[in-house]
Structures are given as structure tokens and as C-alpha cells.
Amino acid sequence: MFQKWHLFTPGPVPVAPEVLLAGARPTPHHRLPEFSAVLSEIREDLQYLFQTRRPVFFFASSGTGAMEAAVANLFSPGERVLVVRGGKFGERWGEIAEAYGLQPVYLDIPWGEAVSPEAVERALSENPGVAAILLQAHETSTGVKHPVREVAEVAHRAGALVVVDAISALGVYPLPMDEWGLDVVVAGSQKSLALPPGLSFVALSERAWERVEKAESPRYYFDLRREWKAYQKETTAYTPAVSLLLSLRESLQLIRKIGLERLFAHYALVSRACREGVLALGLEIFPRVPCEALTMVKLPEGVDGGALTRLLRKRYGVVLAGGQGQLKGKVVRITHMGHQSPLEGVLALSALEVGLSELGWPVKIGAGVARALEIIREHAEEVYA
């Protein structure tokens, strides 16, 4: 009766009412000229979001589908790729590469640390003939932000492509595909696009597209050659997720209205406010180089992350994400993505304070909230004016 859900997980994220309502409209037929006009509008706005002049393709799948599409369309069995592995989603790049018969070379880094361009350069020099580097823009399972631009420069000097999982990074901070020379960028709908799950996206540079025509890996639904033929006719190769695309159009229009620069400033502010609030409580931020999409809180000894997230969910309707893999029970993650105001991050902090207190950790109630509010008050006018 009293409970209202507050979602702070790194996907799905809160969705704006107008975006949800757009998807609830009567479903149009996807082969009519009217829907082709919708597709044309969506594709133009996706290029704005990806900051590219190249085509952006989409599929009815989770972001993992776009990751698989990248591997299937770029490489042939037996080719070598360098996989940056420092979390659950770096591991996923490797699993997909192995499934397609590639020979992944793993650059393992400790969970919580960002890969260094120097380490990438050494790995490439020790493994000549690597076709591409596969990495995350940031690793959602650890909260780490990787130096994508610098890695891309290293890759290009070695003649390798750079393939970036930006599923929870695109639209959160600058990742200009063309300017930085990113060869492949993949994304998903349930992150910064603030949509329900079910859409994935992939954009390829001209260099990457040259490999699409030559790759020998099997592909059917994720065949970008088929999609490109349909793209040129203002349609799709197969039946698209029509209702989700109507919501996507609305979401992209909102992003256009806000503007990327202001959107990036929003995420920078709310993530900083949350991090400083966490530090004011005497807690630690887990990653050394944190991303702006979420705040990962290292829990104190004796506090079980599973117990904390269950308490907050059941008693207060506040849904935080726990840790994955080796971090299970040791951290909680507070997302800043989706349809959130800056003050909703303060709500997440207040829930964290209350939950820790109820589990017996000596937290100073209000300390984190007060610090976060100071940061927001100091910078809100320049971001939201």
C-alpha cells in the first residue's frame, strides 16, 4: 500500500512516461512508407547520438546481440583478437569470440582498475597479427571507465581495429565515434537511452565495414550485409521491434532537445554528487577510475550486500544492484542512468544510509545526503539553467 518502487539498477532503468506512452500507441505495419519515415528519423538521430556519419544498425535483442553481431560480421574463425578482461562483460567479449572460433588473447586486469594504453601496446607487440581490440567503454560490473580514446590510438598504430562495448556508456559521457576513430561501437536500449530492454545497436567505421564483406563466420539474423541492403531501402531485413522503435524515436527526440553537452554535464554532476556523498559516509568507491553511469560502493566489513539490497527493496522499494562474480556481496551499485532528476540520486544515498544503519553499521545519518546536496546546489544552475 505504501510502497513505491525506485529503480537504481544499471539496466533496466527508469523510463520517462512519454517514452512509454509512445510505445503504447497502435502498432503500425513495418513495411508501409509511413513507418519508413519513422526509421529514417530514428537513424538520423542515432547518428547524432553516436556522433558519426556512418549508418547505425539495430536489432531486436539485448546489447549482447550487438556484441555478437560485431564478432560475427568482422572476423573469421582462427583470427586473433585482444580482449581486455577486467570484469563480467570483458569476459563476455572473450566468450563470444571463443564461440565463433576466434583465438582471443586475454589482457587480464584486476577488477576495479582501468586498462592502461601501455599495457595494450605491450600486448599488441607481443602478439603480432591481432585483428582487433575488444573492450568496454566502461565495465559495468566494476564501475571502471577505460581510456577508450588512448586505446584506439594505440590500436590504430598497430593496424588493429578497436571494438567498443558502449552499452552503458553511450549518451553518458563523450564517445565521439568518428572523431576518436572508433571502428565499432555497440549499445543497448535499457541503459542511457532510457528505454525498456529489447533493442541493440551497432555502428561500424569504413575500415570495419571492409572486413564485413570478407568475414567467413556464420551469420543470419545478425548479418549486417542484409541489414545494409534494407537500410538503403528505408526498411529492415526482418520484422523489427516496432513498439520499441516508437519509444526509441521519442527518447532520441528528448536527447536532441536536451543536447549531448548538457546530458553529459548532467551525468557528470549526479555521479560526482553521489560519489562525494558516499565518501562523506566514510565508505569507499570501488573502482580507481569511476565512470559516470553508476556509483559502485565498497561495503564495509561485516555488511552483506545481498542482505542490504533485500532490505532496501522489501522495506523501502529502493532497488540497488549488487555485485557480480567475485564482487558478489561486497559492493552495491547505484545507477545514474535513465529518467532521473539529480535529487533522485540523493534518495538512493538516503536509502543507503538507512539500510546500513539498520544492519548495524555506525553510519552518521544525513552526512552523505548533505554532501551530495552541497554539490548539486553549487553546480545545478550551470547544468540545468
Annotated binding site for substrate: 333
> In sequence order, what are the beta bridge partners of 296?
333
CB-CB contact of 205 with 228 (8 Å):
no
CB-CB contact of 313 with 319 (8 Å):
yes
The Cα 135–Cα 84 span in angstroms is 5
- What residues have CB less than 8 Å from 146, skipping those under 6 apart? 84, 114, 115, 135, 136, 137, 138, 139, 289
The Cα 267–Cα 338 span in angstroms is 10
- What residues have CB less than 8 Å from 33, skipping those under 6 apart? none
CB-CB contact of 53 with 178 (8 Å):
yes
> In sequence order, what are the beta bridge partners of 200?
59, 188
- What residues have CB less than 8 Å from 68, skipping those under 6 apart? 96, 222
Q: Which residues are known binding-site members? A: 333
Three-class secondary structure assignment of 277-309: HHHHCCCEECCCCECCCEEEEECCCCCCHHHHH
* CA dist list (Å): 40 to 36, 44, 195, 200: 6, 6, 19, 17
The Cα 355–Cα 309 span in angstroms is 8
The Cα 231–Cα 212 span in angstroms is 16
